[in-house]
Structures are given as structure tokens and as C-alpha cells.
Structure 1
Amino acid sequence: MKRTKIISLVLVILMVMLTLAACGGKNNAGQQQQQQQQAQQNNQPKYTLQLAGAYSLNADTPRAKATKKIKEIIEQKSNGNIKVELYLDSQLGGDRETLESCQAGNIAMVSSTTAPQVNFIPKLAIFDIPMLFDNLDIAKKVLTGEFRDKLAAEYEKAGFKLLLMVPISYREMTAKKAINTINDLKGVKIRTMENKYHKEFWNSLGANATPLNFSELYIALQQGTVDAQENPYDIILPNKFYEVQKYLIHTHHIAFIHTVVMNKNLYDSMPDDYKKVIDESMKEVSEYLFNESKTQNEQMLASLKEKGMQVIEISQDVKDKMKEAANKVADMVRKDVGNDIVDELMKAIEAAKK
């Protein structure tokens, strides 16, 4: 009996020791796994990506807010392995300079509209054809569908990776007098950019397109050197053009398309999981930017009305005449960049309307 008790006690002790050993083994295995994961995390490559732009980071605009989100989301999704440094307010140069630096690989990413990119990607001149998009929802469908892939290929030929492309607003006309008919445009001196397509459009409508440096525009409007100008709300409002222009005419003639591009060689050299982080982050920011722009456009329009601007919605007759003038510009673009890209854009627009 005594011997049986001793054997039982020994067995109990052995079982306890085995259990403790097993638990210890599990704890050690868990610690080892955690240490391995930490080591793997520490061994992952680190990137610091510069994101440059000519617009202000401190303004409460959709572009500025979206740019901050790009940094926030990429850094979060990459667990800090990809850092994004923001250089806005033209800190690294204007649109042309930053795009050249990005193309050369000296800046990782650039945030800008399509207008200055035409110098690098000539086929983007298609977006200088006026009266393309009846509304921004149609523009968004076009720029997120198959046509975007064709554009992305053009960016790659120039050494860029297209990461984001979002329509955020329209260029609208402001004037010191009411514009209700095409005849009202005759002789109106309207400030435009130094852009042959824009000049052709307004001249075809009977206006007098007058290229002028933007820094001189307010004074020119104030002194009557020019009678009118055309820009999105987020330029009209902060520059106080409402002080020197009485009327806001909803021409919706050119969509303001915002992009983020990256040096293609840098993007291609990154690990696949990092590319996925960047792609998913940009897709998320694209949706945010589009929706935020819609909200703020409504708010800015309300502010312009409060400042005393009278809003004119153009008639269908005026729209038709503007589209006729736009066809002349389309012919110019076809001559410069070819029929194919223009035809593909027009097909994509018609498909997006359905």
C-alpha cells in the first residue's frame, strides 16, 4: 500500500513537471515568434518619400486636406516603414520644376493638376478641350474606368507612375457685367492662361482672350485692364475676386483634374507589399478628395453669394454655342496629339453618361 502511494506521488510530480515544461515551451515559442516578427519588421526596407506641390498646405482646401491624408494613411498602412514628407507652398519649386525633379528621380511624388503636365505628357491636352463633362460624376467615371489605364500608360512613357486622378471642380467665368447670351461675350476682355486652346475657345465665342500673369490679375480686374477671368471657386474666393467682379457665370467649361504622380523607377523598385500600400492609400484618398471637393464647392459657392456675387446659370442655347466653339479646340488637339486619344476620350464620356 505504501509502495503504491509512493508510485502515485511520483507520477503526479512527473505530470506536473511535464505540464510546466509544455507551458514553458509554449511561452518560449510565443516569445520566439514575437521576436522573429520584430526582427523581420526591423529588417524591412525603409522609405522616405517627398511629396511636393505648389498649393498651400495650411489652407483648408480639399487638396490640402487630401495631401495630409496621403501622409497619414501611407505611414499607418506601412507601419511606419514608408515615411511621407510634405513640401507644399512651392517649397521645392513650381509645378514645372517639381515635375522635372520627379521625372529625374530627385523628388518621389508630385501633387498637381493636369494642366502643367502637358509639357511632359502631350496627350493630356485632351483635357483642355472645353465642355467635355456635363458634371463631375461623369468625369469621375471616365477617370476611374478603362480610359484611365490608357492615360496611365502615357504617364509611364514619361517616367511617371499615375497614383491618383480626381476631378475636383470646374473653371468658371466671372465678369463685371452679366453674361446671359453669346452676344454678351463679344469684345469682353477675359484673362486666360498662356494656353493656345483656351485662347481659341474664348476668341471663337467673340471674347478677347488676354493672357496675363496670375499675380497681376486682381489689379487688372480692379483697373479694368481686363473685364473677366475664369478659375475654380477655390481660387476665386481666397483671392477676393468678388471685390472686383459682380457676376459668377456657371460655364463649367473645363474640369479641374487633380493628380498625384510618382517617379516610375522608384515605384517599380519597391517591394510588392509596399506598392499595394501606396495603391490602396491613393484609392482611399481619391474617394475622400472627390467627396470633400463636392462638399466644399457647395460651401464656397454659398460664400461667394454671401459676398455679393450674382450667379448666372447659362441657357441651353449658350451651352450649345460654347460646344460649337469647343469643337474647334478639339480639332486643334486632334492635330497636335492625334485622333485616337480624342476618340477614346469621347467614347468613354458617352459610356459614362449611360
Structure 2
Amino acid sequence: MKKRWKAALAGCLSVLMLTAAGCGGAKTQDASAYTPEKPLIIKFSHVTTADSPKGKAATRFAELMAEKTGGKVKVEVYPSSQLYGDKDEMEALQAGNVHIIAPSATKLVGFNPAFQIVDMPFLFKNHDSVIKFWDGELGKKLLGSLESKNMLGLAMWENGFKVFTANKPLAKPEDFKGLKFRTQAGKVLEAQFKALGSGAATIPFGETYTALQQGTVDGQENTWNNIDTQKYVEVQKHLLVSNHGRLDYIVLTNKKWYSELPEEFRKAFDESMAEATKYERELAVQLDKESENNLRNSGMTVVELSESEREAFVKLMEPVYSEFAETVGKEIIDGARKL
């Protein structure tokens, strides 16, 4: 009887071990389990249109993944908030309901205030300094700072530098005094306009044209492409090439899901993301340049800043750097300024 009991127990343990092994195999997603007919599905959700640089890069990423895995991986891209919008995409990513998202960097401030780095005024000197920051040690540190939230930063996809427009000429700090500017929500942006002696009004992007038209605000800050496509030239005649802040995206994946990808799929994933990132950045720069040319040829008055004129704005922003040194991180701010 005792022997029979031991044999039964041993049998049960064997079944449990086999079951656990089977579950473990599913968990690590064995690459051999997938075929072009039954591929691994990856869901990539974003909020911009399919023909935006972000949208085109997401599609390119999907094509590269299919090529590199022989069709064993299929990336389904959902643009224009078809799957998730700004408010719920991060929760969906953390829960594993979607695998890749690309929110604006400022949407991550609630998880890590250091992402306000993109709003810090006149911090990045030029485009090269932006790329060096995000692809360098400090940028990689920031991208990896969300791992405790089950989110892994993969790359920075860019939109571009912000410039100022207004209904009166802008050339030096004094020109901003007494004006009210439309802006996104954010403490750094509030401090920026306070330093300029201006008022700031948080107005939804889609309502900005009307606010400018009706005189609710005197000006706004945005990328060349947004100013062009939103037709602000119809209600704003003056533009200052300030390049004072950034509008960029952070591509994120679910950390747990990513870590459980088969090695060959993860290799293809990393290579595809690197190629798609290069493609997106080139597209964004090209699109912004085209919009810049459109605006310069539209009759809008465009003012450039000399190095000394830019330094006058930088000096004015020193209190902002000091105010947010602890929140954003002095190491990050100083590192970006040196690039």
C-alpha cells in the first residue's frame, strides 16, 4: 500500500513538472512555435496619422520585422488612436494589451519628471546635440528609467524644435513682455513664459487656431510642421526661429513581454527598431524643412537669432534651470547644455 502511494505521488509530481515545463515553454515564446501562417502578433498603437513621420516609421518597423523573421512575426500598426488614445495607452502597455506605443515625452513626466528635459528652454543648441543626448549615456539612462513600471524605453523619435509665432514682431526678450501665449500644460513651460514676462494659457491643440484668430492669445510655440499644417500663417504674421524647446516621442515596449521574446525575435526587434528610428528621424527633419520653406515663402516675417541674441535668452532662463535642477536632474540639464 505504501509503495502504491509513493508511486502515485511520483506520478502526480511528474505530471505537475511536465505541466509547468509546458507553461514555461509558452511563456518564453519558443520561435519554432510560429510560422508565416500563424505568426507572433505584435500590436503597435500610436495617436498620429499613418502618413506622419511616426506613422510611416511604425509601418517601416512592421515591414522590417516581417522581413527579418521570414514572416513569423506580424506587427499590427494602429494609427490615429484606433486602438488606444493618449489617456489610456500607457495603462494598456503596462497590462500587456498592446506591445509598443510612442507617446510624447511630456506624457511620461508623471512617471519620471526628468522627461521635462524636452521643455527646458534654450537647452539644446542644435539638432546634433539632441541626437547626441538621446543616443548617449544620459538619454539611455532616461529611457531605462521606467523599467520599474514595466515599461522599457526603446528610442527617441523626433518631431522637431519649437519656434515662436505672434501677432507682433519678436526678436529679443523684451518683445515678449505683456503678451499671452498658447502652450501645453507643464510647470517648465509656465516658468519659461514667466521668465519672459509673458502670460501662458493652456489650450488644446485643436482649439489653438481659433484662439489665435479671436485674439484669446497673442502667440504660440510649435514646430515648423505644426505651424504649417495648422495654417497658423493665416492668423500669425511673425515668427522667431528660437529653437527653444522640443516636441519628441519616446517609443516604449512592455518590459516583461520584451524580455520573454525568443532570442532570434528579440534580435530582429532591436535591429528593426534601430533602422526604423533612423528612418523616422530623417523623415521628421525633411518634413520640418519643407514646412519651413512653405512658411518663409508665405509672406510670414521670419527672424533669425544670432549667437549673442540667443545667449540673451539663455541668460534670462538661468532661474528656470535652477528651479528645475532637482526635479529634472542637474546631471541631465548640465549634460545637455554641454553638448
> How would you bin the TM-score normalised by the shorter chain?
0.7 to 0.9
Residue in 1 aligned with 2:20? none
Task: Give the C-alpha shift of residue 149 in structure 1.
Answer: 2.6
**CA separation of 1:229/1:147 partners in 2, compared to 1, >3 Å: closer, same or farther?**
same
Alignment match of 2:230 (pick from 236, 239, 259): 239
CA distance in 2 between counterparts of 1:213 and 1:299 reads 25
Alignment match of 1:78 (pick from 43, 65, 69): 69
Give runs of aligned pairs for residues 205-220 of structure 1, distance below 5 A. 205-220=196-211
Give runs of aligned pairs for residues 84-233 of structure 1, distance below 5 A. 84-233=75-224
Q: TM-score, normalised by structure 1?
A: 0.81
Q: Is the 8 A contact 1:185 1:205 kept in 2?
A: yes
Task: Give the C-alpha shift of residue 174 in structure 1.
Answer: 0.9
What SS does the aligned partner of 1:51 have? strand
Per-residue CA distance 1:315-354 (angstroms, 9 max, x = gap): 44442232134332222322335xxx4314523552x4xx
Q: Is the 8 A contact 2:325 2:333 kept in 1?
A: no
What SS does the aligned partner of 1:248 have? strand
Residue in 1 aligned with 2:45? 52
Task: Give the C-alpha shift of residue 92 in structure 1.
Answer: 2.5
Which stretch has the larger CA shift, 87-96 or 224-233?
87-96
Which stretch has the larger CA shift, 167-176 or 278-287?
167-176
**CA separation of 1:308/1:69 partners in 2, compared to 1, >3 Å: closer, same or farther?**
same
Q: Does 1:346 align with 2:325?
A: no
Q: Is the 8 A contact 2:163 2:221 kept in 1?
A: yes
Bigger Rg, which one? 1
Q: Is the 8 A contact 1:74 1:278 kept in 2?
A: yes
CA distance in 2 between counterparts of 1:90 and 1:119 reads 21
Hey, which of these two has a bigger chunk of helix by percent? 1
What SS does the aligned partner of 2:83 have? coil
Q: Is the 8 A contact 1:143 1:166 kept in 2?
A: no
Alignment match of 1:273 (pick from 264, 272, 281): 264
Alignment match of 1:64 (pick from 42, 52, 55): 55
What SS does the aligned partner of 2:229 have? coil
Which stretch has the larger CA shift, 159-168 or 95-104?
159-168
Q: Is the 8 A contact 2:162 2:246 kept in 1?
A: yes
Per-residue CA distance 1:29-48 (angstroms, 9 max, x = gap): xxxxxxxxxxx986347421
Q: Is the 8 A contact 1:182 1:318 kept in 2?
A: no
Residue in 2 aligned with 1:20? none
Per-residue CA distance 1:253-296 (angstroms, 9 max, x = gap): 11222221111111011111111111111111111122222222
Which stretch has the larger CA shift, 182-191 or 325-334?
325-334
CA distance in 2 between counterparts of 1:254 and 1:221 reads 21
**CA separation of 1:41/1:328 partners in 2, compared to 1, >3 Å: closer, same or farther?**
closer
What SS does the aligned partner of 1:101 have? helix
AA aligned opposite 1:100: E
Q: Is the 8 A contact 1:142 1:148 kept in 2?
A: yes
AA aligned opposite 1:343: E
Per-residue CA distance 1:102-157 (angstroms, 9 max, x = gap): 12211111012211111223321233211111111111012112223311320212
Residue in 1 aligned with 2:5? none
Q: Is the 8 A contact 1:139 1:167 kept in 2?
A: no
Q: Is the 8 A contact 1:228 1:245 kept in 2?
A: yes
Task: Give the C-alpha shift of residue 96 in structure 1.
Answer: 3.0
Q: Is the 8 A contact 1:247 1:310 kept in 2?
A: yes
Q: TM-score, normalised by structure 2?
A: 0.84
Q: Is the 8 A contact 1:96 1:116 kept in 2?
A: no
Q: How many residues align?
A: 307
Q: Is the 8 A contact 1:121 1:158 kept in 2?
A: no
Alignment match of 2:240 (pick from 237, 246, 249): 249
Residue in 2 aligned with 1:43? 33
RMSD after superposition: 2.0
AA aligned opposite 2:33: N
CA distance in 2 between counterparts of 1:219 and 1:88 reads 26
Q: Is the 8 A contact 1:136 1:167 kept in 2?
A: no
Q: Is the 8 A contact 1:164 1:286 kept in 2?
A: yes
**CA separation of 1:325/1:100 partners in 2, compared to 1, >3 Å: closer, same or farther?**
farther
